Copies of this chain bind each other. A is one copy, B any other.
Amino acid sequence: MTTIRGFQLTAPGQPLAPVRREVAALSADDVLVRVAGCGVCHTDLGFLHDGVRTRHSLPLILGHEISGHVEDAGSRHRALVGKAVVVPAVLPCGECALCRSGHATICAEQVMPGNDRDGGFATHAILPGRFLCPVPGAGPDADAPLGKAAGLRLRHLAVVADAVSTAYQAVERSGLREDELAVVVGLGGVGTFAAQIAAERGAAVVGLDVDARRREAAPKMGVGLALDPREISGKELRGRIAGFAREKGAPATGWTILECSGTPAGQQTAFGLLVHGATLMVVGFTLEAVSLRLSNLMAFDARAFGNWGCAPELYPAILDKVLAGRIDVVSHAELRPLSEIAEALEEVRSHRAQRRIVLVPDREETP
Contact = CB atoms under 8 A, between A and B. Distances in A.
Interface in A282-319: 282-309
A325 interface: no
Contact of A105 (B108, B271, B295, B301): B301
Interface string A79-120: 000000000000000000110000101101000000000000
Given A253-B106, A294-B267, A285 B307 contact: no
A306 B303 contact: yes
A298 B277 contact: no
A294 to B, nearest CB: 5
A80 to B, nearest CB: 27
A276 interface: yes
Contact of A284 (B108, B276, B284, B298): B298
A286 B292 contact: no
A290 B291 CA distance: 5
Contacts of A37: none
Contact of A306 (B267, B291, B302): B302
A299 to B, nearest CB: 7
A285 B262 contact: no
Nearest to A285: B295
B306 A285 contact: no
Contacts of A285: 295, 298-299
Given A97-B251, A106-B301, A301-B306, 5 more contacts: A98-B277, A271-B294, A282-B295, A298-B306, A298-B308
